[in-house]
Structure 1
């Protein structure tokens, strides 16, 4: 929570809405489902990438757009896919056990309902997919592979998931240009 309060955009938004440090609550939709705002999800992605996956070339806005498509930013996920990143437990556990992504404990599928845990394992999976089979992959491949699995991606097909991703990505466009030319998207 402290890392969220230290994020400049979050501090500004939460202070303006009269949140008290240490006592922030999720926003809920009309069905009482907790979700993260776009500013909050961007902060979660920024923090996870900075603290645990800072060697990745993937930008936080890519992760935010994937979360937007996967869960509409609902904390508990949607349609049987847990958490904000919608990564299933078996994939997250494989990343944890086999690939050594252990910044967060992963004991059950419920752990993926924590926004930071879900973002961490989702980002690790995106990183793995972006270099699938030992070669750098285009965003169109790894985004589609994230949802349907790498063996089910048809490179000639413009999937509806890709189109949703592009639409979501536009909501996270950066306002200022960065000198980072080698980062993915």
Structure 2
């Protein structure tokens, strides 16, 4: 294996995403690189290609924003890469106990990548019989992040940062063993050397819509420290355009003084970002109209479930990650196979705890929550997809 240019190891859309990162663009431009021409990879004294800290930060950030938003800290990925492989693309370590090679930036094994892809559903990047594909930075970081995501909720329990990092190094059985303690201590030191993560959205101050004063520019806060308090950093431009077309969202955002390109999330007293009911319903309507328009699913049902699962917090609550705490394909399967009441109970309690009783408290609470969405006032000339 030999990579000389970024083009040798990334797809065109990934390279475009890197150029879109302000810090990467500056670093590459200062080094004499030009957009539209091949970009040289940095090399260590032995001639081995590696990622600079700026490049590593960008790759980790892109992967998390695309595939694991609100589920992990990009800094965790960067710190593990720092002490595991020194950010070297072609890093290789032989695991004597497992009798297999660990490859690339995140020291991912081919066996683990195949398991993540084939059994756990992480298929955004290919995992083939050719282990060399794991030397590609975006592929390697994607599977490394997927494994960290699984470890973060191992055995159905929300795990600590220490458990996740030590388990990544030595497996879940060694997460509390003395053999992985040194790795975790080096990880903590590595985090202190990482570039500042406060410059992700240059020039946009941290603030909230509902009465909290703005802080200094480039100061971001959230419960996981990623600082993404803007809609435009969480969703694609196409999704934002659809949200702006929603009459209720347009009214909400216009009243709050939001502008295209910098729409703020509402924040609670602890500065946790959340969605208004109009925003939740709009998101549900967009998803259903795009992907499930023939399935008969009501946007109000998804919206009410989101409120009960996450209280509309962007990052979810407790072990529930995100608005729904479950992927839409699973929700769709439950919805098609059972009555509406049993679907709601299965979603909130688990399929094994469905009782279907007429006066079930969870079901009654859901009906009460559902009324908030079914009664949203329609704007003249608007169109609501139910």
Q: Same fold (TM over 0.5)?
A: yes
Name the CA distance, whole Å, in 2 between partners of 1:183 and 1:167.
18
TM-score by length of 1: 0.92
**1:70-149 aligned within 5 A:** 70-80=84-94, 81-107=102-128, 108-149=130-171
Paired residue total:
183
Q: Alpha-carbon deviation of 1:78? A: 3.4
Name the CA distance, whole Å, in 2 between partners of 1:25 and 1:183.
32
**3-state SS of 1:15 partner:** helix
Structure number, greater radius of gyration: 2
The answer to whether 1:66 aligns with 2:108 is no
Who is 2:355 aligned against?
none
The one-character-per-residue Cα deviations of 1:90-118 (angstroms, maximum 9, x if unpaired) are: 11111101110011111121111000000
Task: Please tell me whether the aligned partners of residues 70 and 78 of structure 1 are also in contact (alpha carbons under 8 angstroms).
Answer: no
**1:131-170 aligned within 5 A:** 131-154=153-176, 159-170=181-192
Task: Please tell me whether the aligned partners of residues 62 and 169 of structure 1 are also in contact (alpha carbons under 8 angstroms).
Answer: yes
Task: Please tell me whether the aligned partners of residues 34 and 75 of structure 1 are also in contact (alpha carbons under 8 angstroms).
Answer: yes
Tell me the C-alpha RMSD between the 2 structures: 1.8
* Match for residue 29 of structure 1 among 41, 44, 65: 44
The answer to whether 1:181 aligns with 2:203 is no
TM-score by length of 2: 0.45
Q: Alpha-carbon deviation of 1:79? A: 2.3
**3-state SS of 1:40 partner:** helix
Worse overlay, 75-84 or 162-171: 75-84
Task: Please tell me whether the aligned partners of residues 101 and 124 of structure 1 are also in contact (alpha carbons under 8 angstroms).
Answer: yes
What 5-or-longer segments of structure 2 have no aligned partner? 1-14, 95-101, 199-218, 227-386
Q: Which has the higher contact order (CA 8 A, sep 6+)?
A: 1
- Following superposition, which runs of at least 4 residues in structure 1 exceed 3 angstroms of deviation? 155-158, 173-177
The one-character-per-residue Cα deviations of 1:61-109 (angstroms, maximum 9, x if unpaired) are: 1100011122110001132421101011111111101110011111121
